[in-house]
Structure 1
Amino acid sequence: MDSRVVASAAFVVLSGCMRRIKAHQVQKAKRKRRWWMTSLSRSRERYNVSIMIEDLIREPSGRLENFLRMSYTDFEFLLNEVGHMIGKKDTQLRKAISVKERFCVALRFFASGDSFVSLSYLFKFSQQTVSRCVFDVCDALISVLNHQIKMPRSSNEWKKIAIEFEKRWNFPHCLGAIDGKHILIQSPMNSGSDFFNYKHTFNVVMMALVDANYMFTYVDVGCQGRISDGGVFRNTVLGRKLEENRLMLPNDETLPNHTQTTFPYVFVADDAFALGPHLLKPFQGVYEAGSDERVFNYRLSRARRIVENAFGILASVFRVFRAPMLLQPDKVSKVAMTCALLHNFLRSSKDSSATYAPPGAIDMEQDGTIIPGTWRSDVQNMISFLPLKKIPRKAGREAQEIRKLFCGYFKTTGKVHWQDRYC
């Protein structure tokens, strides 16, 4: 048989097969959906979150602030700021979800940490829509509130923080308290062991610097959990600038009654960090009462509790940190950064500060006795907010000498009036 005839016949058969496949695809694409909208979603027109908020406004029960995690005044302010960024337009086929509902579902996710499926039953729209709403709000809030977390850019700005630390916590030349937390996540897709850490879990690290008023001045989220805890800080912008002396820190100055010796400006941290010329950590071991090392450890821990309380309040209010986040690492970073920005915004707000961190929520002192804040009772439940591993490291001689300088200052002229009894 002629080869041209065979090729022509094969082409006809193949063309017929392709037409049948395309017809099947078109028929499958035009298959009618079983429903346009579920009955649960249709009921949102009768009663939705916007109506519920109006009901809560009319009764002074405090449930509105608990639901939103802020006062209604601050809620409206933020809603006006981000409304044009998260809103959608109505179409001929469907009415768009209101801006207020889109904003509320994100706030409720931060406050409760519920899954998107669970929130879809509460807000009466699909879990895919819940996901889009949450991350649209995250992007909008990060854009609007990015000025809330601002690291000082001059020596004068750093000095203002140091003055506040000395005034409130009796620790001179302190520029802030540093700490980090592991945020537990589900195993990311195709990530191998990048986020697998020493606790045999998958984590994203959140590193923060806090001033004397429990406000974040620097936050870095996203470092892989597999990186050693000592390397986490060095991989942040703050750690690199500190190592390269690019933070514009104030020059060494004398302290009262120590006119012959200059003291550097320092940050305070725990045993997870390496001792350095501008980074102080406690002495390791147990020392007898009244010793220089015991006094120094007490005073440093007293100043360092600021960052512990900031993390504690953040996780107790925004309970998305209480359980493993079932999100990819980049989205976990967005959620954590958004919550940190909201923390600063609510701490500085006149209307929400009292409800965000009410009296007793933060550690207090009475005549030298530490009264733990109420957030510490929730520590056992914060399984997603794990501390950095404490690793002993040998420090340089310069850093050790600087720590001894502060030891001498606290032992002689830097005492708190009741300190002798407790150190």
Structure 2
Amino acid sequence: MCEAISPRDRLSVTLRFLATGNTFQDLSFSTRIAPNTISSIVNATLEAIIQVLEDKVLTFPSTVEEWILVAHKFETLWNFPHCIGSLDGKHINFRPPRKDGSKYRNYKGTDSVVLLALVDAEYKFLFIDIGRNGRMHDSAIFRESPLGIRINAGNLNLPPSCEIPGFNEKLPYVIVADDAFTLKSNLMKPYPNPGLTLEKRIFNYRLSRARRTVENAFGILANRWRVLLIPMSLAVDKVEKITYACKRYYLTVSNLWSNEVVIAAVIVV
């Protein structure tokens, strides 16, 4: 019988694929593993990683105290009070099957699925929604996402509106976003550019400082896992799985050979 591929080798191949974005054929030359075997190894290891790290990484605030802590970090680090997260979408490019036609074609002329994310002041992901086709507008994706549904229903358990130093009016806690999103009582976007007063320009600058945390988080994520920078020649379900697994690692596993990740690889065997 052939000797089984060890868990360490399985994890090594998967991490190399995520970190470099090389094709399975390229990886086979350096690992001496057949491309079809690498394909099954990567798929199974990603599923195990998601299963093991699912509840350890992405923690969505559920209490008033947790939301206040998120807002305190934004006020301390980025000087924007009552902010509970920065929201934006990122296109993950891939090459869909020909039968899908232009289903995933976005406004840039490429095929993609959208990663919608809510990020805190320290570039940590609080909420993600993956898989909407690139034709959809960010605002529509947010409206149909679980986060958007809960905000519209008013059951996100946000802190009540309160005053901030220097203002006598009560202000709500808000998510900051760009012009692509619809203005709501708990979603703030910048003023339109024409004819802005000094106060409005200062507000836009402060909002931009808070909002760019999600842009920075996307940049750090894609540069750490460069598979997200190139169009993937894979089915859409595998693209979603790869993107979701990369979130498990993002800014959470300081040592890629930690016990939890090795356990995830062992589960595959």
Q: Secondary structure at the match of 1:219?
A: strand
Q: Is the 8 A contact 2:72 2:81 kept in 1?
A: yes
CA–CA separation in structure 1 for the residues paired with 2:139 and 2:68: 27
Q: Using the TM superposition, give the Cα deviation of residue 216 of structure 1 relative to its aligned residue in structure 2, in angstroms.
A: 0.5
Q: Is the 8 A contact 1:178 1:269 kept in 2?
A: yes
CA–CA separation in structure 1 for the residues paired with 2:214 and 2:26: 32
Q: Is the 8 A contact 1:149 1:344 kept in 2?
A: no
Residue 37 of structure 2 corresponds to 129
**1:214 lines up with 2:123 in the alignment:** yes
Could you tell me which of 9, 18, 37 is aligned with 1:101?
9
- Between structure 1 and structure 2, the one with the greater Rg is 1
Q: Is the 8 A contact 1:216 1:344 kept in 2?
A: no
CA–CA separation in structure 1 for the residues paired with 2:94 and 2:124: 25
Could you tell me which of 24, 36, 58 is aligned with 1:116?
24
Runs of 4+ in 1 over 4 A off after TM superposition: none
Q: Is the 8 A contact 1:253 1:264 kept in 2?
A: yes
Residue 420 of structure 1 corresponds to none
Residue 47 of structure 2 corresponds to 139
CA–CA separation in structure 2 for the residues paired with 1:156 and 1:116: 46
Q: Secondary structure at the match of 1:206?
A: strand
Q: Using the TM superposition, give the Cα deviation of residue 123 of structure 1 relative to its aligned residue in structure 2, in angstroms.
A: 0.7
Q: Using the TM superposition, give the Cα deviation of residue 286 of structure 1 relative to its aligned residue in structure 2, in angstroms.
A: 4.7
Q: Using the TM superposition, give the Cα deviation of residue 169 of structure 1 relative to its aligned residue in structure 2, in angstroms.
A: 1.0
Q: Which has the higher contact order (CA 8 A, sep 6+)?
A: 2
CA-to-aligned-CA distance 1:239-276 (integer Å, 9 cap, x gap): 11111112111111111232x31000000011121111
Residue 185 of structure 1 corresponds to 94
- 1:252-331 equivalence runs, <5 A: 252-258=161-167, 260-286=168-194, 291-331=198-238
**1:205 lines up with 2:153 in the alignment:** no
Extract unaligned runs of 5+ from structure 2. 257-269
CA–CA separation in structure 1 for the residues paired with 2:165 and 2:199: 19
- In percent, how many aligned pairs have the same letter? 44
CA–CA separation in structure 2 for the residues paired with 1:200 and 1:313: 25
Q: Using the TM superposition, give the Cα deviation of residue 296 of structure 1 relative to its aligned residue in structure 2, in angstroms.
A: 0.5
CA–CA separation in structure 1 for the residues paired with 2:252 and 2:210: 23
Q: Is the 8 A contact 1:268 1:304 kept in 2?
A: yes
Return the letter of the residue paired with 1:154: T
Could you tell me which of 318, 341, 358 is aligned with 2:248?
341
Q: Is the 8 A contact 1:287 1:293 kept in 2?
A: no
Return the letter of the residue paired with 2:163: T
CA-to-aligned-CA distance 1:43-73 (integer Å, 9 cap, x gap): xxxxxxxxxxxxxxxxxxxxxxxxxxxxxxx
Q: Is the 8 A contact 2:123 2:214 kept in 1?
A: yes
Return the letter of the residue paired with 2:214: V
Q: Using the TM superposition, give the Cα deviation of residue 203 of structure 1 relative to its aligned residue in structure 2, in angstroms.
A: 0.8
Return the letter of the residue paired with 1:284: P
CA–CA separation in structure 1 for the residues paired with 2:154 and 2:61: 14
Q: Which moved more, 1:311-320 or 1:220-229?
A: 220-229
Return the letter of the residue paired with 1:153: S
CA–CA separation in structure 1 for the residues paired with 2:252 and 2:17: 18
Q: Using the TM superposition, give the Cα deviation of residue 196 of structure 1 relative to its aligned residue in structure 2, in angstroms.
A: 1.8
CA–CA separation in structure 2 for the residues paired with 1:276 and 1:344: 31
CA–CA separation in structure 2 for the residues paired with 1:246 and 1:329: 32
Q: Is the 8 A contact 2:175 2:186 kept in 1?
A: yes
CA-to-aligned-CA distance 1:319-370 (integer Å, 9 cap, x gap): 1012101111111011001111100313xx4x68xxxxxxxxxxxxxxxxxx
Return the letter of the residue paired with 1:317: R
CA–CA separation in structure 2 for the residues paired with 1:177 and 1:160: 15
Return the letter of the residue paired with 1:301: S
Extract unaligned runs of 5+ from structure 1. 1-92, 353-423
